[in-house]
A and B are shown apart, each in its own frame.
Chain A
Amino acid sequence: MSARPEPGPPLWLLAELTYRCPLHCVYCSNPVDYTQYKEELTTEEWLRVLREARELGATQLGFSGGEPLMRDDLEALAAEARRLGYYSNLITSGVGLNERRIAALKEAGLDHIQVSFQDSTREMNDFLSSTRTFELKRRVAKMVKAHGYPMVLNVVLHRLNIDHVGQILDMAAELEADYVELANTQYYGFAYANRESLLPSRAQLERAEEVTNAFRARIGERMKIFFVVPDYYANRPKACMNGWGSVFLCVTADGVALPCHEARMLPGLEFPSVRRHDLGWIWRDSPGFNRYRGDEWMREPCRSCPEKGRDFGGCRCQAYLVTGEAANADPVCDKSPHHSLITDITARAREGTVKVETKPVLLYRDDETSRRLSAQKAKDPV
């Protein structure tokens, strides 16, 4: 076997502190069997993870979940993150944030807060998350501004809200957001289970982009707007995680280290637990992190593709979910022999808005659904 080049540092550490969440979003990217992973890392274990990842060179730290505010040691972790020299980001639904906690987080040195909204309307926000949280989120957005944080508003787009992009941007401007991320749904976890209901039509997508571009031209530098295109409508795959085991390291609520948040679903791969291994070994030497590093693992059409250095063959999890084999080319690539599995779905994506009154059939991210899907998965792994 030829010597592997030493990987660079993991620039990003995503700490999925907990799978507990008060929201039940239908597009959640958490594994559908999240109820199987109950034993959360302790504060001491997280502090060690933060130290070890920082020693490897991680600079950006995301506190995510689930809802990271469900952990009452978040303030302690944020303080240690600051002491170690991380730039720390809280990725939150806003539920659980109050004056006391935001003041404590600011004091601890948390750098940045991203608040998610489901929609610009109370009706759709509350429907998609199966909660009554719309007014609360508006209050939280104002609180974030009042404490001197840049306000980063994230909205996941899909067929049920993409036609509201104009109103969503109006709401963001009214809340004085500094950054808006309009992130089209990526189809993993619960989003994959709900794919047929969530995928917008191409016409919807094009309209949303037009509205966004017009808004951007009008508002200028005051509010930066990012529009993340859904890869199902692309001809080339995303450079997922900038390459497997290249810059991104995720640690799950129960301590499993992953090269991306979704990799746990891949069969035949054993991902190491931070409970049993140090992150240096995990990042550099563990078989899981080396499985798809570089391009030795590639098959055709990736292997001989002149673009393989740009997109690394796309996303292994998407290749597995759609084609059944993680080493295949990401099927969103039009060079993939499986590309029609994507275009069949996009062709089916119906035109027209799905309204709440029509009660679209969707699986909510809740414990009961997770347990049911876990049982199904145990019987029929793919």
Chain B
Amino acid sequence: MSEDTIFELAGHYRFQWEAAQNAYVLLYPEGMVKLGGSAGEILKRVDGASPVSAIVADLERAFPGTDLRRDVTEFLAHARDKGWLRVRPA
């Protein structure tokens, strides 16, 4: 993963806000992952167009005073390993 890597949601996954869970969730065939607050904030910004650097910058604007680069890249790697995200083909 580099600054320029662009992630998108893997096929068959849907990301949405669930009022009943008071959380963002990922839906997939016959299942659901309830996301913690920061995971939700990161995935909300994964749009298949923004590179990692833009996601980090946007989060640092939303939550000023924190260095989020490491947290964000670690979570994105985790989400990729889980199969939730894939790298958008160049």
Are A and B a genuine interacting pair, yes or no? yes
Question: Whole-angstrom distance between the alpha carbons of A362 and B40 in the complex?
Answer: 52
Chain A residues whose C-beta falls within 8 Å of the C-beta of B20 in the assembled complex: 9, 56-57
Chain A residues whose C-beta falls within 8 Å of the C-beta of B14 in the assembled complex: 87, 111
Number of A-B contacts (CB under 8 A): 39
With A111-B14, A150-B11 already in contact, the answer to whether A57 and B29 are too (CB < 8 A) is no
- A60 & B32 in contact (Cβ 8 Å cutoff): yes
Chain B residues whose C-beta falls within 8 Å of the C-beta of A62 in the assembled complex: 30
Question: Whole-angstrom distance between the alpha carbons of A59 and B27 in the complex?
Answer: 8
Chain A residues whose C-beta falls within 8 Å of the C-beta of B61 in the assembled complex: none
Q: Looking at chain A, what size class is its interface with the partner chain?
A: 10 to 19
Report if B28 contacts A (CB, 8 A): yes
Chain B residues whose C-beta falls within 8 Å of the C-beta of A87 in the assembled complex: 14, 27-29, 32
Q: Which residues does A use to contact B, with CB under 8 Å? A: 9, 11, 56-57, 59-60, 62, 85, 87, 89, 111-112, 114, 148, 150, 152, 179
| Chain A residue at smallest Cβ distance from B29 | A112
Report if B25 contacts A (CB, 8 A): yes
- A11 & B32 in contact (Cβ 8 Å cutoff): yes
> Which B9-40 residues have a C-beta within 8 angstroms of A?
11-12, 14, 16, 18-21, 25, 27-32
Q: Which residues does B use to contact A, with CB under 8 Å? A: 11-12, 14, 16, 18-21, 25, 27-32
Question: Whole-angstrom distance between the alpha carbons of A274 and B23 in the complex?
Answer: 29
- B30 & A89 in contact (Cβ 8 Å cutoff): yes
Q: Which single member of B12, B21, B30 contacts A60 (CB below 8 Å)?
A: B30
Q: Which single member of A59, A111, A114, A148 contacts B25 (CB below 8 Å)?
A: A59
Q: Which single member of A57, A60, A152 contacts B27 (CB below 8 Å)?
A: A60
Question: Whole-angstrom distance between the alpha carbons of A77 and B43 in the complex?
Answer: 29
With A9-B20, A87-B14, A111-B14 already in contact, the answer to whether A150 and B25 are too (CB < 8 A) is no
Question: Whole-angstrom distance between the alpha carbons of A85 and B16 in the complex?
Answer: 8
Q: Which single member of B18, B29, B32 contacts A111 (CB below 8 Å)?
A: B29
With A59-B32, A179-B29 already in contact, the answer to whether A150 and B16 are too (CB < 8 A) is no
Chain A residues whose C-beta falls within 8 Å of the C-beta of B21 in the assembled complex: 9, 57
